[in-house]
Chain A
Amino acid sequence: MKLLAFDTATDACTAALSLDGQVLERFERRSQHSEHLLTMIDALLAEAGLRIQQLDAIAFGRGPGSFTGLRIGAGVAQGLAFACDLPVLPVSSLAALAQGVDAGQVLAALDARMQQVYWGAYTRNAQGLVVPRLSEVVINPEAVTPPEGQGWIGVGSGWDAYGDMLASRSGSALARWLPDIVPQARHLATLAAAAFRDGLAVSADQAQPVYVRDDVAVKRRGPA
């Protein structure tokens, strides 16, 4: 199948074209994803000699992550998919992060600011795809509960910001941590292809971010 995938949840802007298993990719680690994303996509399609209408589906990192980043990714996915009437595969950015680590048990953490992390635990199935072991949460690092078993690998910017605290909470379950790894579109594409086969594609207007952090405003009390 021909799949375009991208993720903009972190400070990495990453895009990949997966063509029946062969992967072309682009990666930028500058702050303005809105400056690069469409140019990267255009370069990938040109390299493959494809028109966007020839794709089978579009996958994007639906979060959690930077709110603005998520809307850039979801907005581009919506626009491209709506225009070409293509199905969309929203993929967890934490799962894409975990998928990129060569390990059976992964503790994925993205820095959520405000002294919190987006947190998920993943194991791998027989096909080598990560499977969530708990619901994604936004959590204080000191509130993380240690996973069962041993040999877990920590990964992501959450470990960069709060590695010592997360490690002490994980205790002997943790083998080591890799704080510099970011979600990459090639791994997102792997998960998206499986989701596509499982019939999990949605329409363009359902290509929505999943913020996880939803308490972003306080309602006023009483009149006025």
Chain B
Amino acid sequence: MIVLGLETSCDDTGVAVFDTARGLRAHQLYSQSRMHAEYGGVVPELASRDHIRKLLPLVREVLADADIGFRDLQGVAYTTGPGLAGALLVGTAIGRSLAYAWGIPAVGVHHMEGHLLAPMLEPDPPAFPFLALLVSGGHTLLADVQGIGRYQILGESIDDAVGEAFDKTAKLLGLGYPGGPAIAQAAGHGTAGRFRFPRPMTDRPGLDFSFSGLKTAVLTAAQSRVLDAHTIGDIALAFQEAAVETLVIKCDRALQQTGHARLVVAGGVGANQLLRAQLRHLGAKLSVRVHYPRPEFCTDNGAMIAYAGAVRLQAGQFEALRFGARPRWSLTELTTL
């Protein structure tokens, strides 16, 4: 089955073609992050306006890259939620209409399920069950993944997402947007030990996260000092250490609690090299195999949506002749296969 996948949940326009027989055929991504950087963060209305300009040209390119015609497509998948309502609506409107006019089934995909399944696009995909750590600008959660649609959330952030903490800290330090790469780069010039920030909620049992206290600690440290390059590097380093160690402590707990032998790390923060190094140590300690999507599929992309959609279409799922966004949609509400 050959499926076109569309992703428009936030500030990336992603398009891909996944073929259940031959794997990923083509994918393209257009990132709006430079446009939003001028506003200091994602402006939802501008995101929607850009998606509707960029999506079809990207579809055209991807079909050409995959060297397939309209008649070869057997399904269309698009992100229905969670995410920005207006941005999601662009993808669902175009995706559902394409499928209708082509006379093929359409399926709405949960964005986070896309992320969870992104490692399935790699040569050595993880088998079920596994523990998943989803870390991005919008989400921080640990899920017990038993199969497609069988997700139990073991813990999640009670306030800011970890990626959001990276973004806000970067903004505070006068670094760029998105904050993840900016913090990591600045931390490379920092000296360890000058600052130490809290590892929130690690001093008590449980798998939930909190990052707003960490953000406040950084703010307090930054406000009382002159922000020269050394201080910025030192704060970035201490922040990154605290955020990463917090994630790793919870992964350690969750792996011991579930007994799973595989850990999947997905979402944009999964590209962080310090996180990867520390999880490598944790994996060695617990004899757990750690799986990552390739870096370009850690962040939002169309490939993961095409894949998740193909799996669900193959199982016979399809949408009625309507579309719409589900800006808030829990991973635990999905149909199981």
Given contacts A39-B322, A75-B97, contact A204 B39 (CB under 8 A): no
Helix, strand, loop or mixed for chain B's interface? helix
Given contacts A38-B100, A38-B322, A39-B322, contact A216 B38 (CB under 8 A): no
A 45-58 to B, binary, CB cutoff 8 A, 1 in contact else 0: 00000001100000
Q: Are A34 and B89 in contact (CB under 8 A)?
A: yes
- Nearest A residue to B58 via CB reads A205
Q: Are B90 and A205 in contact (CB under 8 A)?
A: no
Q: Are B39 and A34 in contact (CB under 8 A)?
A: no
Q: Which of A194-224 contact B (CB under 8 A)?
A: 204-205, 208-209, 211, 216-220, 223-224
Contact of A79 among B45, B95, B174, B324 (CB under 8 A): B95
Contact of A34 among B43, B60, B324 (CB under 8 A): B324
Q: Are B46 and A216 in contact (CB under 8 A)?
A: yes
Contact of B321 among A32, A42, A216 (CB under 8 A): A42
The answer, yes or no, to whether A80 is at the interface (CB within 8 Å) is yes
Q: How far is the CA of A217 from the CA of B46 in the complex (A)?
A: 8
Distance from B2 Cβ to chain A, minimum over Cβ atoms (Å)? 15
Given contacts A83-B70, A219-B38, contact A78 B321 (CB under 8 A): no
The answer, yes or no, to whether A124 is at the interface (CB within 8 Å) is no
Q: Are B43 and A78 in contact (CB under 8 A)?
A: no
Interface residues on B, range: 35 or more
Q: Are A79 and B94 in contact (CB under 8 A)?
A: yes
Q: How far is the CA of A194 from the CA of B322 in the complex (A)?
A: 30
Q: How far is the CA of A208 from the CA of B54 in the complex (A)?
A: 11
Q: Are A79 and B40 in contact (CB under 8 A)?
A: no
Q: How far is the CA of A79 from the CA of B93 in the complex (A)?
A: 8
The answer, yes or no, to whether B260 is at the interface (CB within 8 Å) is no
Q: Specify which chain A residues have a CB less than 8 angstroms from the CB of B98 in the assembled complex.
A: 79-80, 82-83
The answer, yes or no, to whether B53 is at the interface (CB within 8 Å) is yes
Q: How far is the CA of A204 from the CA of B102 in the complex (A)?
A: 15
Contact of B93 among A76, A82, A219 (CB under 8 A): A76
Q: Are A80 and B86 in contact (CB under 8 A)?
A: no
Q: Are A223 and B97 in contact (CB under 8 A)?
A: no
Q: Specify which chain B residues have a CB less than 8 angstroms from the CB of A218 in the assembled complex.
A: 39
B 45-56 to A, binary, CB cutoff 8 A, 1 in contact else 0: 110110011011
The answer, yes or no, to whether B136 is at the interface (CB within 8 Å) is no
Given contacts A39-B322, A217-B46, contact A34 B86 (CB under 8 A): no
The answer, yes or no, to whether B59 is at the interface (CB within 8 Å) is yes
Q: How far is the CA of A75 from the CA of B97 in the complex (A)?
A: 8
The answer, yes or no, to whether A35 is at the interface (CB within 8 Å) is yes
Q: Are A52 and B93 in contact (CB under 8 A)?
A: no
A 66-104 to B, binary, CB cutoff 8 A, 1 in contact else 0: 011001101110111011100000000000000000000
The answer, yes or no, to whether B323 is at the interface (CB within 8 Å) is yes
Q: Are A34 and B92 in contact (CB under 8 A)?
A: yes
The answer, yes or no, to whether B57 is at the interface (CB within 8 Å) is yes
Q: How far is the CA of A72 from the CA of B172 in the complex (A)?
A: 37
Q: Are B322 and A68 in contact (CB under 8 A)?
A: no
Helix, strand, loop or mixed for chain A's interface? helix
Contact of A71 among B89, B101, B102, B171 (CB under 8 A): B89
Q: Are A34 and B46 in contact (CB under 8 A)?
A: no
Q: Specify which chain A residues have a CB less than 8 angstroms from the CB of B322 in the assembled complex.
A: 34-36, 38-39
Contact of A217 among B39, B56, B100, B324 (CB under 8 A): B39
Interface residues on A, range: 20 to 34
The answer, yes or no, to whether B96 is at the interface (CB within 8 Å) is yes
Q: How far is the CA of A29 from the CA of B96 in the complex (A)?
A: 22
Q: How far is the CA of A7 from the CA of B45 in the complex (A)?
A: 20
Q: How far is the CA of A53 from the CA of B59 in the complex (A)?
A: 20
Given contacts A83-B97, A83-B98, contact A224 B52 (CB under 8 A): no
Distance from B22 Cβ to chain A, minimum over Cβ atoms (Å)? 23
Q: How far is the CA of A154 from the CA of B321 in the complex (A)?
A: 37
Q: Specify which chain A residues have a CB less than 8 angstroms from the CB of B95 in the assembled complex.
A: 79
Q: Are A82 and B59 in contact (CB under 8 A)?
A: yes
Given contacts A74-B52, A78-B97, contact A216 B86 (CB under 8 A): no
Distance from B6 Cβ to chain A, minimum over Cβ atoms (Å)? 10
Q: Specify which chain B residues have a CB less than 8 angstroms from the CB of A217 in the assembled complex.
A: 39, 43, 45-46
Given contacts A38-B321, A42-B321, A83-B70, contact A76 B97 (CB under 8 A): yes
Given contacts A34-B89, A78-B94, A82-B59, contact A216 B45 (CB under 8 A): yes
Q: Which of A6-47 contact B (CB under 8 A)?
A: 32, 34-36, 38-39, 42
Shortest Cβ-Cβ A-B pairs, 3 listed? A79-B97, A75-B93, A83-B101
Could you pull out 7 A-B pairs where Cβ atoms are within 8 angstroms?
A38-B97, A52-B101, A71-B89, A80-B97, A205-B57, A217-B43, A218-B39
Q: CB within 8 Å of A: which residues of B? A: 38-40, 43, 45-46, 48-49, 52-53, 55-57, 59-60, 70, 85-86, 89-90, 92-98, 100-102, 171-172, 174, 321-324
